[in-house]
Amino acid sequence: MSADTIAHNRKRFDFSGVDSIWLFGYGSLIYKVDFPFLEKRPATIHGWQRRFWQGSHDHRGTPEAPGRVVTLIENPDARCKGMAYRVSPKVFEHLDVREKNGYLRFTTKMTFDDGSHAEGLVYIATEDNEAFLGHAPEADIARQIAGANGPSGPNSEYLLRLAESLRTLGDACPHTFAIETHLRSATESDT
């Protein structure tokens, strides 16, 4: 599948008659909220784990030197905490462009911190997209992130802001925090 998913996403859901819908963010959508929303609540989805397995050729890297950003990988025992936003369907005109590098919209059931549930949408970069990089040792991922830069800034900024946001949410994400530790160690040894 092409890395540019804009047209594909616009065919996936019919928003006719829908005033608002929940959107689940687990990466930069937690901290870079460049869209209007009606409500914002911490939430968790089950059966998915956050992984730095998606290449970023358009935001945090380039086609020649892609960065790494998060996607979700299925794991029946996993849970992923993030932020849910209740948005107007018009917001997807912007988000489909922002998330175009391999991400498709899927439906998901979210559990809010108070135990209530809602159905919503989540962007996931599946392994069949051209930008998918897949598994690598966390130290190697950190090295790739340390060297990547794109139109949205250094890839390291993405990682560090995500780690900080997860701590604020109270989410212990061993994968993200291990990569952060490797990145900080590499940066300290360079100084």
Chunked mean pLDDT (size 10), the chain, 191 residues: 75 88 97 97 98 95 95 97 97 93 95 97 95 96 96 96 97 96 83 53
28 within domain boundaries:
yes
pTM (predicted TM-score): 0.93
Question: Domain span at residue 45?
Answer: 6-190
Give the CATH number for residue 10: 3.10.490.10
135 in any annotated domain: yes
The β-bridge relationship of strands 149-150 and 153-154 is antiparallel
Domain count for the chain: 1
Does 1 map to a domain?
no
Q: Tell me if 134 is assigned to some domain.
A: yes
Tell me, yes or no, whether 84 lies in a domain: yes
Query: What's the pLDDT at 153?
Result: 95
- According to the model, what pLDDT value does residue 189 have? 65
180 is catalytic: no
| Identified catalytic residue from 39, 64, 99, 127 | 99
